[in-house]
Amino acid sequence: MNKPLVVIFAAIVLDAVGIGLIFPILPRLLAEVAHTRNIAPYIGIMTALYAAMQFLFAPVLGALSDTFGRRPVLLLSLAGAAANYVLMAFAPQTWLLLLGRAIAGLTSANASVAMAYITDISHEDERARRFGLFNAMFGIGFIVGPVLGGWLGDCWLRLPFMAAAALNACNFLLAWFVLPESRTPARRKISLAALNPLSQLRWAFSMKGLLPVILVFFILSATGEAYGTCWALWGFDTFRWNGLWIGLSLGAFGVCQTLVQALLPGPATRRLGERWAVLAGLACGCLALAAMAFARQGWIVFAIMPVFALGGVGTPAFQALATRQVDPARQGQLQGVLTSTVSLASIISPLAFSAIYLAVQKEWPGAIWLSVIAVHAIAVPLVVLGTRAARPAGLMSPLGE
């Protein structure tokens, strides 16, 4: 594995640890700052706000990285993330926490730049495996981050934010001193219209073979947001888990997710193809969700984690398929559009799932996972049609622009 790839993967791990630190303690922090026990709506609003900022700025950062280079955009976003976590660590009011999550969504849009960086330095036949490794590195971060965040939060509720700030500062230094530029910047003049996320989406929709891939990303992301929105609330309401146990459950998922993403995307795609890899993942996810819905003891959640993690095995194949749809000069723009599409789903999904959870919270908290199964069932025919419609890059032509 070449040195730049090692560096970018290390940066991804540190970034994921910083994000994971916050998840276990956010409900308690909101309850303390907002002075209310009914925090489910706040969780939904904050998650949707985070996603909205990703939606707006992922195409912008991707397009800027095509024009000015990946490295300066990554450095700027990492510095902003470190400063933002310090702000959130000392936020005394709810509106400051909301502002902090908005800034966090802006800086986390650099994922599109990291994906474009990997595309730059990878041959086409290596991309599915490396995108799987990208997801695996993120999984490693979620092994450490939530466990550490739960423990630190039990010591002092604000401490995980300080730790996240320190990790992002380390990430900045790593990129500054070690990470080289991955491509020659285009240095073309960039118009204000090019920075409009809606114009970037119109460009993507003009590509016939790209449209079904975007639709699949949208559906899978919408269902995936349910976990970040409801997991901590469900763990407390169903099993009376404290911050440490919520962190341990997320860490266990991170272990399984890392192993799956590091080892299985390549073999699964070769044996099953993109369509059946995604459908097999959906089937595994639904099986695990059904067990979670009816679970009354916490050990059941840990027992089904390996099956649960198999749900994401087809995603790297879709990511690799998408990169073949556009030329190298627009990979940052493409990754920005994909990140923006995922974020658009993330705006809608947290609000919907938090409302559903609020409705079922008193009678049956586990029913939230049955609603996710229902959305998965709707997604199945769309996945089949989308993968059937997708075509190799050589057969595609833009309809517009």
How many C-beta atoms surround the C-beta of residue 79 within 10 A?
Answer: 17
Bridge partners, residue 207, by sequence = 398
Taking the C-alpha atoms of residue 203 and residue 266, their distance in angstroms, rounded to an integer, is: 30
| pLDDT reported for residue 146 | 81
Which residue in this structure is represented by tokens 């981050």?
145
Do the domain assignments include residue 189?
no
Do the domain assignments include residue 206?
yes
Do the domain assignments include residue 191?
no
CA quadruple 140, 146, 152, 156: dihedral, nearest 10: 150
Taking the C-alpha atoms of residue 287 and residue 289, their distance in angstroms, rounded to an integer, is: 6
Do the domain assignments include residue 238?
yes
| pLDDT reported for residue 390 | 46
Do the domain assignments include residue 188?
no
Q: Measured between alpha carbons, how far apart are the two ends of the chain, in Å?
A: 37
How many C-beta atoms surround the C-beta of residue 92 within 10 A?
Answer: 8
Q: Which of left, alpha, beta for 259 (phi over 0: left; psi -120 to 50: alpha)?
A: alpha
Taking the C-alpha atoms of residue 24 and residue 243, their distance in angstroms, rounded to an integer, is: 5
| pLDDT reported for residue 288 | 92
Instruction: Give me the domain span that covers residue 131.
Output: 3-179+196-394
**Distant-in-sequence, close-in-space partners of 277: CB < 8 Å, separation ≥ 6:** 265, 268, 269, 313, 314, 317
**Distant-in-sequence, close-in-space partners of 395: CB < 8 Å, separation ≥ 6:** 209
CATH number of the domain enclosing 384: 1.20.1250.20
Q: Are 93 and 102 in contact (CB under 8 A)?
A: no
| pLDDT reported for residue 386 | 56
Q: Are 160 and 21 in contact (CB under 8 A)?
A: yes
**Distant-in-sequence, close-in-space partners of 315: CB < 8 Å, separation ≥ 6:** 131, 135, 220, 265, 278, 281
pLDDT tens for the chain, 401 residues long, are 577 888 888 878 887 888 788 878 888 888 888 888 778 788 778 877 887 887 778 777 877 888 888 899 889 988 988 888 898 888 888 888 888 888 888 887 677 788 888 888 887 777 777 888 887 887 777 778 888 888 898 889 899 999 989 988 988 998 899 888 887 776 666 666 656 666 666 766 676 667 777 777 787 778 877 887 888 889 989 999 887 888 888 778 878 877 888 788 778 877 877 778 778 888 998 999 999 999 999 899 999 998 988 887 877 766 766 776 677 767 776 777 777 777 777 778 878 888 899 899 888 999 999 999 998 888 787 767 655 544 444 433 332 33
| pLDDT reported for residue 340 | 74
| pLDDT reported for residue 393 | 40
Query: What global pTM score does this model have?
Result: 0.67
How many C-beta atoms surround the C-beta of residue 283 within 10 A?
Answer: 15
Taking the C-alpha atoms of residue 347 and residue 288, their distance in angstroms, rounded to an integer, is: 25
Question: Quick one: angle between helices 111-120 and 3-20, nearest 10?
Answer: 160
Do the domain assignments include residue 185?
no
> Per the structure block, which two tokens stand in for 335?
């990754």
Helical (H) or strand (E) element with 182? none
Do the domain assignments include residue 400?
no
> Per the structure block, which two tokens stand in for 254?
């991170």
Q: Are 108 and 18 in contact (CB under 8 A)?
A: no
Residue 286, amino acid: C
Do the domain assignments include residue 350?
yes
Helical (H) or strand (E) element with 327? none
| pLDDT reported for residue 396 | 37
Question: Which residue in 178, 216, 250, 237 sits closest to 338, CA to CA?
Answer: 216
> Per the structure block, which two tokens stand in for 74?
């990554």
What number of residues does the chain have? 401
Helical (H) or strand (E) element with 313? none
- Work out how many domains the chain is built from and give that number: 1
The DSSP code sequence of 31-81 is HHHHT-S--HHHHHHHHHHHHHHHHHHHHHHHHHHHHH-HHHHHHHHHHHH
How many C-beta atoms surround the C-beta of residue 198 within 10 A?
Answer: 11
